[in-house]
Amino acid sequence: MSANFPLHKIMVATDGSDTSRRAAQAAISLANLAGGSVVVLFVADTARLVQISGYLMFPVLSEGIREGMLRAGQAAIDEVEAMASDAGIRIEKLVVEGNPSDEILRQSLERDVDLLVMGSVGKGGLDRFILGSVAQKVVEHSKVPVMLVPGIDARKASEGPGRSAASAMGQPLPS
């Protein structure tokens, strides 16, 4: 595997969702197979906070919300760290603030990663029905290969009546 496509450093973006946990498991498994390490990234979308009515008028409340987002990010990162530790994989942890897709793209280049792994959808509600907007932007603009991990709901929907997990992944149905 490493001769054709080295996987020395794999970045996984997490938002703490079930789908991002599945992406983290995939990244850790790949790192284990390739003898690589994992960079775990959480992006706190603090720029969106200004869209909350009255956010700027109450600095104490504003800072509390921001700190809560950063704590949630640290918790998501810690969860992935525990998974990696169980597998004996070295990790680097990053919690940054900014636009999620922009920061994922920037950090993947700055950290010189070989592969970026992320869930196909995040915590958003409507994102369950379409490719998540963050994932879509990352796939469209990434300079490094991206592996999208589907959410559980997406896998169940693709299996539907008469379909199996194998057929959903492009393998033929048994006759």
- pLDDT per residue as tens digits for the range 85-98: 999 999 999 999 99
Dist. CA 38–CA 24, nearest whole Å: 9
Residue whose entry in the numeric block shows the structure tokens 């020395």: 8
Residue whose entry in the numeric block shows the structure tokens 């054709």: 4
Query: pTM for this structure?
Result: 0.79
Q: What is the pLDDT, as a whole number, of residue 121?
A: 74
Q: What is the pLDDT, as a whole number, of residue 153?
A: 63
Residue whose entry in the numeric block shows the structure tokens 């559980």: 152
Please give the sequence-ordered ranges of beta strands (E in DSSP) within 63-107, or none if there are none: 91-97
112 vs 167, more confident:
112
Mean pLDDT computed over every residue of the chain: 81
Q: Are 153 and 21 in contact (CB under 8 A)?
A: no
Q: Are 115 and 11 in contact (CB under 8 A)?
A: yes
Nearest to 35 by CA among 7, 12, 13: 7
Q: Per-residue pLDDT for 41 more than 80?
A: yes
Q: Average pLDDT, stretch 44-66?
A: 73
CATH code, 9-150: 3.40.50.620
Rg (CA), the chain: 18
Distance of CA 106 to the CA centre of its chain: 14
